Amino acid sequence: MKKMRIVSLMLAAMLSASGLVSVAFAADETSFTATDVRRTVMEKCAVFDSRGEVSVPCKPADGDIVGYKTRDNYEGIACRCTDPEQIKPDAEGKVTVQTYDEYLKARNSSYEYAFDEETMPLNLIDGVTRETLYIVSGKSYDAVMAFCAENPALEPVGILTAHIMNPEYYYGTDAAPLRIDAADGYEIDANALNTADYHYIQNLNGWYPTDKETGKTVELKLEDAAALCEKLEARDDISFAWVRGLANAIDYPSSIRSFTVMPVVHQDYLSGDADGNGKVDLDDAITVLQAYTAVNLMKQENPLTAAQFIAADTDGDGVVQIEDALRILQIYTQSLLRQSLANTQCQTVRVGLKEGAEVDCDNAERLNLTDYMHLPVKACRSAAELEAYVSAHFTEGVFSSAPTLHDAMQKYSEDFFANQMVLAVSVTEGSGSITDTFAGIITAADQTATVTISRQVPQTMTADMAYWLFLIEIPQKTYANMQFDAVTDTAENGLHQ
């Protein structure tokens, strides 16, 4: 039953999920896309968990400062513009366009701790000057890039970032643990690390020296903590030891040190390939669910790299969640259907139904399930079995059809069944204007092969009933020991026999 739920989840994802969202611009409009921007920001800037922040030790300590935490903040898209009069304003007010000097003045006035805008360093990439630099900013990368695409006078060249530094101060070992790095070829063993003076405990932030008798964290003066780190570094298995500080933006303000126009990293990726192995499959959905669990339930850092995050975020909303796993299952399911469709022959015949004929199929127990529409399917392994099933249930259709039932059945001789078998799937529609087509077969781990019939329902329909018989030809060797089911791909389904 659990395995069937996996199949149901895959099919439900395929049947109900909306189309994937992708944003791209032609090469002659801009040299990078909104996705490229988002990926570059995630890799280079401090916007994704604590990634992008770098703690640089200040050793020896500068007073109580034991380190600096630096980060690059995303500020907007840097554009080259030589004819600003051609820029059309954003009618919706979602995007702001400023010269670099205008941006700098606005940034300074809104920043709690003012900086000297005249002497603030600006690092430019080739081909851009301070006079031709314009900053396009907004909450959405897509909106900003779409605005640039609509304004040929703006040539996107990179990302403007502000390099910010926070001093990290020593507050005592209880608040500022030790950073201890193992030497090459070693792992830090807490038992081996314990000394005659201290036991050590570890959490996500670092190591804490504790009192051997009480087990409580030892409060050390900075000079004592520094001396302890020197002793640890003297060991062969430890390459670096120093005190981690805390950055408090209220007591010890951060400062902007420079601005940089950063090139955008363009790299093709496969939407849904969350594990980065070059294909989309069930493992990618599992990877997304594991990441969702780690962040939202376990309150841990996101285990995905920036590249994995971009591929896993299938709708581009900046969040990896359960809906992305469902979309990945949709992508995977559709790929399986395409593969099976390319290798499978099917005859579709409009038929009539014999009055009083009882349903005789291989999936009778599933016909009343309500998760989605199940259709009768009968696996026929010989010409006699197929002839008996068709004769018991169907007649020639009232309306002309190509092929007719008689013509279709001529193909299935005993020689055909030497290596092949036929799945007979019947569909009853309330209107002949509804189009049904064979969409493919998915095989699950529990050895159940599920046929999918795609329905196209027009807005205006005729009032005639329609009965369809799908004769799907599959290799006996591949499907010899399997169970069979059939479903449609829409919630608003026709009747079934």
Quick: pLDDT tens for 167-186. 888 887 776 788 888 888 88
What pLDDT digit, counting tens, does each position of 214-246 carry? Answer: 878 888 889 999 999 999 999 988 999 999 888
Q: Give the model's pLDDT for residue 21.
A: 24
Q: Please compute the mean of the pLDDT values over residues 386-406 and round it to a whole number.
A: 85
Residue 75 burial (CB count, 10 A): 18
Handedness of CA 283, 445, 359, 433 (dihedral sign): positive
pLDDT digits (tens, 9 = 90+) for 266-289: 767 788 899 988 889 999 999 999
pLDDT at position 330, please?
A: 84
Percent share of the chain, pLDDT over 70: 86
The CATH 1.10.1330.10 domain(s) of the chain lie at 270-339
Matching residue, tokens 């799937």: 425
DSSP 91: T
Asked whether the bond before 89 is cis by omega within 30 degrees of 0, the reply is no
Percent over 90 (pLDDT), the chain: 31
Q: Which amino acid is at 417?
A: F
Q: What is the pTM of this model?
A: 0.52
Instruction: Name the residue type at position 232.
Output: L
Q: Residue 191: pLDDT band by 50, 70, 90 thresholds? A: confident
Alpha carbons 463 and 461: distance in angstroms, whole number? 7
Q: What is the mean pLDDT of residues 150-155?
A: 92
pLDDT interval class at 26 (50, 70, 90): very low
Statement: 270-339 belongs to CATH 1.10.1330.10: yes
Is the torsion defined by CA of 429, 430, 435, 440 positive or negative?
negative
Q: Does 332 score more than 80 pLDDT?
A: yes
Q: How far is CA 459 from the centre of its chain?
A: 34
How far apart are alpha carbons 411 and 203 in whole angstroms?
71
CA distances from 96 to 83, 279, 330 (A): 17, 39, 37
pLDDT at 248: 64
**What number is the average pLDDT over the span 462-473?**
91
